[in-house]
Amino acid sequence: MRFIWAIWGGFVFHAAAQNSQFNDPPAPSASASIHVNQVAYDYAAPKFAVFETSRPLPASSRFQIEDVQTSNTVFKETLTSGQECADWFPGKYFYRANFSAFQQSGHFKLQVDQAGKSYNSFDFEIGTNALATQTVPAIIDFYHHQRANTPAELSADEHLLLYGSTNTVDLRGGWCDASGDVSKYFSHLAYANFMSPQQTPLVVWSMVNTVETAAPLLDRLNAKTPLMAEALYGADYLLRSLSPSNYFYMTVFSYFNKDPRARRVVGLLANSKTTDDYQCAYREGGGLAIASLARVSQWKTHGEFSAQAYLAGAERAFAHLQTHNLQYDDDGKENIIDDYCALMAATELWIATDRAVYRDAARQRAKNLAARMSTAGYFIANDSNRPFWHASDAGLPVIALVRYLDKETDLQNRAAALKTIKKALDYNLRVTDETINPFGYARQSFLFHGQVQDGFFIPHENETGWWWQGENARLASLATAAIVGGRLVYPGAGAFGIKPELADFASHQIAWILGENPYDVCFMYQFGKNNVPHMSSSFGHGSGRGGISNGITGQDGHPDGSGIDFKLHANGNEWRWTEQWIPHSAWFLQAVAAMSAAK
């Protein structure tokens, strides 16, 4: 994913047979179309679609829901007033259809009449836990498909060379990072300091968290045992990645070479330049790895290693980073990513051991996050003026605070953390709603050329020097934060146990991923009606059912991320939009689990 543009020729696209596919970059319809979640809506959840037209509709125009099996009209309602999204599609008008009040199980389609012609949406399902029922088993299968466990991979990874050394380490296991990248990352982009995403360790923590928070759902789907097995498989890789010196090895890099013997343990810079800076700081995967090992150590079952070994590894790694974290941070300074990742690590160790050393560390990190809250409501990423924005983990500061509050009982500390969560959620709603936004796509604040500005998509000109891509992981992480954070600061009797504005916000992000977007792409592979093309990769890996592609971006060539873009063909840069990446499905799993946990 990250460096594939330089040598894309090693991978091949071909159309998948399961679903209809695009041959050229899709564009909005010349006349009218309906954008809808192409997979499923939960029975009691918010439900929206968007009608797009090149001609304005008469005032109070209506839409209707039709039962696919009987062809009966089962619901009618008025569309909202039209909105023109000039920054995206000049000359187009967008009308939101809100059918949240329709609570009937079955398969349906939405219909709008304009100038004597009827326009129909793709079919979709409505039902109790319909979204999770369809997607959770597929996500588990996707990770099983992504396991780096072919004979060639296992043989190579058992004796991996450390960059710049003749020493080898055993790093068998883990998951291939993306449909076009068989490398394995704790985190990449470490050199950019403010953009490090959580990768393999996040996947493990997401699985463990889902097992523990959505057990009734998983039991109904017969999915608990396979998800636990996948989480333990991941935990074994995390512990195997813990060095004798008690830091985690950051990256097993393939160099996009089909020969598995080319793989090395490395640190990464831009343009696939490799170094021996492969020690993980908190923000470079170390914090989430500690958190995952500590949490899974409390299970009554284990993988290749014992529960005691998981916990002992987590404690050794935490003690090491408490001393050496600044040494491993590329700029020698901690930032917000260190804070929320270290908060997760300290919290899980506190929960697992009840030791004061972890309590005190967690409280300090929670205080650090509170101190980073700006008057505008966004977090400050550095010690100055950079707003925290993140293409993958934007919801993680709130989620880390929520997990901390699972253990914290001191009223003063709880009040401070709840205040921080509330401000963050208020900001997300405000910045998203303060401009024309018929799809409810989560907006964000960022520093561009020295000025803070708000936008839909991340700036393409950023600290990495080259990295930008679709943000489906960010959307699912924010949906998760809205639900689990909202239950603490904005509880409600309606959908997801939160106030309606937050429930709507969360639903919009998930629906966008599943097809309710201007390009009618369902980014979960082999779901819905329109998917991106299949991507093949080495060792039989590549696109997998239940995997989620990167998604939609700001317009290519716009440094500030303004405009909108989605491309299937871009001279080797297609990956920015089409490549599956393991954090997307990890965050989607958390969001769907959170949605289902209230039931």
For residue 94, being part of any structural domain is answered with yes
Q: Alpha helices, DSSP H only, in 527-581?
A: 575-578
For residue 92, being part of any structural domain is answered with yes
Residues of the domain holding 224: 149-321
Same domain, yes or no: 197 and 317: yes
For residue 171, being part of any structural domain is answered with yes
Q: In sequence order, what are the residues at sequence separation of 6 or more whose Cβ sits closer than 8 angstroms to the Cβ of residue 279?
A: 243, 247, 248, 249, 250, 267, 324, 327, 328
509 DSSP 8-state letter: H
Residue 491: φ, ψ to 5° = -65, 150
Tokens describing residue 143: 């990770």
Same domain, yes or no: 69 and 214: no
In degrees to the nearest 10, what's the CA dihedral of 229, 234, 235, 236?
A: 90
* Residue ending a domain, choose from 321, 354, 372: 321
pLDDT score for 30: 53
For residue 403, being part of any structural domain is answered with no
Task: Give the CA angle between residues 495, 66, 78 to the nearest 5°.
Answer: 65
Round to whole Å and give the CA distance between 389 and 546. Answer: 27
Domain count of the fold of the chain: 2
Tokens describing residue 415: 């009040």
For residue 70, being part of any structural domain is answered with yes
With CA atoms as reference, report the closest residue to 211 among 185, 232, 197: 232
* Residue ending a domain, choose from 94, 127, 160: 127
Round to whole Å and give the CA distance between 202 and 480. Answer: 14
Tokens describing residue 454: 């708000």
Same domain, yes or no: 170 and 293: yes
pLDDT score for 597: 81
What's the one-letter identity of residue 565? D
Same domain, yes or no: 70 and 174: no
For residue 591, being part of any structural domain is answered with no
Same domain, yes or no: 153 and 123: no
Same domain, yes or no: 310 and 210: yes
For residue 381, being part of any structural domain is answered with no
Same domain, yes or no: 185 and 101: no
Q: What is the pLDDT along the chain (599 residues), one digit of tens a residue?
A: 444 333 322 223 333 333 444 444 444 445 899 999 999 999 999 999 999 999 999 999 999 999 999 999 999 999 999 999 999 999 999 999 999 999 999 999 999 999 889 999 999 999 999 999 999 999 999 999 999 999 999 999 999 999 999 999 999 999 999 999 999 999 999 999 999 999 999 999 999 999 999 999 999 999 999 999 999 999 999 999 999 999 999 999 999 999 999 999 999 999 889 999 999 999 999 999 999 999 999 999 999 999 999 999 999 999 999 999 999 999 999 999 999 999 999 999 999 999 999 999 999 999 999 999 999 999 999 999 999 999 999 999 999 999 999 999 999 999 999 999 999 999 999 999 999 999 999 999 999 999 999 999 999 999 999 999 999 999 999 999 999 999 999 999 999 999 999 999 999 999 999 999 999 999 999 999 999 999 999 999 999 999 999 999 999 999 999 999 999 999 999 999 999 999 999 999 999 999 998 54
Same domain, yes or no: 70 and 173: no
Q: Alpha helices, DSSP H only, in 72-163?
A: 130-146, 151-157
Same domain, yes or no: 208 and 246: yes
In degrees to the nearest 10, what's the CA dihedral of 345, 348, 349, 351?
A: 160
Round to whole Å and give the CA distance between 445 and 129. Answer: 33
For residue 195, being part of any structural domain is answered with yes
Round to whole Å and give the CA distance between 153 and 413. Answer: 47
What's the one-letter identity of residue 365? R
Same domain, yes or no: 195 and 99: no
pLDDT score for 9: 27
* Residues linked to residue 488 through DSSP beta bridges, in sequence order: none
With CA atoms as reference, report the closest residue to 34 among 527, 522, 515: 515
Q: What CATH number is associated with residue 119?
A: 2.60.40.10
Same domain, yes or no: 235 and 286: yes
Same domain, yes or no: 85 and 49: yes
Task: Give the CA angle between residues 152, 275, 473 to the nearest 5°.
Answer: 70
* Residue ending a domain, choose from 295, 321, 347: 321
pLDDT score for 598: 59
